[in-house]
Structure 1
Amino acid sequence: MLLISSECNAQEIIKAFNENSFSKQEIAMLKSTYGQNKTFIEDYEKQILITLSYFPELKNVNIVFRERNRKTPLATRPTFLSMFCQAKKRTYIITISNKSTDYLNTIIFKNLTFNAQIGVLSHELAHISDYLNKGFGKMLVIAKNELFCPKAVDTLEYSTDLSSINHGLGYQLLEWSTNVRVNLKRANWLGAVNLSEDEKSERYMNPSTIAEVISKHPLYQKD
């Protein structure tokens, strides 16, 4: 599970982004390059564009970012009708919750640090990057696994975290992973609908695992 894939991005490795990491002109350039076929949430446009710049394969993919009141802090899926299209021609929706349960409100997007926001966005974009390699049949398998095969979901989410690291946003993912466990006072995080107990399975990489992968990853040795 800790094998490092060849999927790497040429973007510079940055340990911590903040609101002032990019000038208005630089953000405008990012939007010109990576904002095509995207519907943004105005308050989060900067974070989204920074994250998109690490996923060049999504440059022309239709992605809608939207806010809703949802228990799950973030979720990504293709629209139903676009499921029947070629993967690169689908429309994908990333839903950001602006209100959850009292317990989970501490980790919804608006309550995360700027750097952690980029980290969790990188996980969602890594899902879309993966979906580009899956036809209709394989997408149905993912949907079936969500209902009936938690072990398969564990493997998928873990590999999605690895993809985020491979794209160059490992430090951001680490900050998000740490924030979640500290804010929720949990040793493990299996998702918003799996809160009954701290199971041993590592559905999402724990901070120690992320740090270990980064320490061995060639992309991060330049840092």
Structure 2
Amino acid sequence: MPVQFQDLSSEHIKACFLKAYQAYPELHGHRIIVRQRSMSKTTMNAQPLLNWRFFRRSRRQYIVNLTDNMHVEDRISIHELPEEVLVGWFAHELGHVCDYLHRGVLRMLQFGVGYLLLPNYRAGAERIADIFAVEHGFADAIIATKQYILKHSGLPSAYKRRIELYYMSPDEVAMIAQGEPANALTIDQII
């Protein structure tokens, strides 16, 4: 299996990742490293591994980073999150990886710059990841993840505002899952 876990001992986290990963057969030919590390501004992120394989889309490798603790007042460990929340989070991150599969080197560099500098671009990228997750059968898990984040009283309000600003709402995810048009662009219009 091309999934490799680094610095990750929680069997719960590994099982949740594998549950999401199995629904993404287009990723099974790529090496994906899942590692846990200290991150201050985000809970998870997915990105291509910057090595010589980065320049060949078909051989590109990816890394999914996850924090060791949610940045909440009572310091919730990631491995304490409910299964559906973790699976939804991983499904979203694997949605990013699916998006990266379609991008050549120049478009990946454009993505990185746009994501960092342009709020609308970032919102579009997060939307694409959610749409990929919904298309792979994870609408309920994505909704559970968003509801967990937005309703958890211990999460900082700045974190919740960032989620509301850049990510689809639970209602919008439900609309897309039901095949109804949502307010923003679809994946075909963005890619």
Q: Which residue of 2 aligns with 1:176?
A: 145
TM-score by length of 2: 0.80
Instruction: Indicate yes or no: 2:38 matched with 1:75.
Output: no
2:121 aligned with 1:158: no
Q: Is the 8 A contact 2:69 2:78 kept in 1?
A: no
- Matched to 2:141, the amino acid is Q
- Paired with 1:200 and 1:160, the residues of 2 have a C-alpha distance of 14
Partner residue in 2 for 1:97: 67
Which residue type is aligned with residue 142 of structure 2? L
- Compute the TM-score of the two structures, normalised by the length of structure 1: 0.70
Aligned length: 175
Shift, 1:184, TM fit:
4.6
Considering Cα pairs closer than 8 Å and 6+ residues apart, tell me whether 1 or 2 has the greater RCO. Answer: 1
Distance 2:115 2:74 in 1: 21
CA offsets 1:153-186 (integer angstroms, 9 cap, x no match):
1111112111110111111111001100011578
Matched, 1:214 2:166: no
Determine the C-alpha separation between the residues in 1 that align with 2:115 and 2:175. Answer: 28
Q: How far apart, in 1, do the equivalents of 2:160 and 2:145 lie?
A: 20
- Alignment of 1:39 with 2:4, yes or no, is yes
1:126–1:163 CA contact under 8 A, matched in 2: yes
**Rg: which structure is higher?**
1
Match in the other structure for 2:55:
85
Moved over 6 A (4+): none
User: Structure 1 residues 138, 105: closer, same or farther in 2, change over 3 A?
Assistant: farther
184 and 206 in structure 1: CA distance in 2 versus 1, 3 angstrom threshold = farther
Deviation sequence 1:42-82 (CA, Å, 0-9, x none): 52221121111110001111100011011211011112224
Distance 1:128 1:82, change over 3 A: farther
What residue in structure 2 maps to residue 131 of structure 1? Answer: 100
Shift of 1:95: 0.7
Q: Which segments of 5 or more consecutive residues in structure 1 lack a partner in the other structure?
A: 1-35, 187-191, 218-223
Structure 2: gaps spanning 5 or more residues: 181-191
In 2: Cα distance, 1:197 partner to 1:64 partner? 27
The residue identity in structure 1 corresponding to 2:170 is P
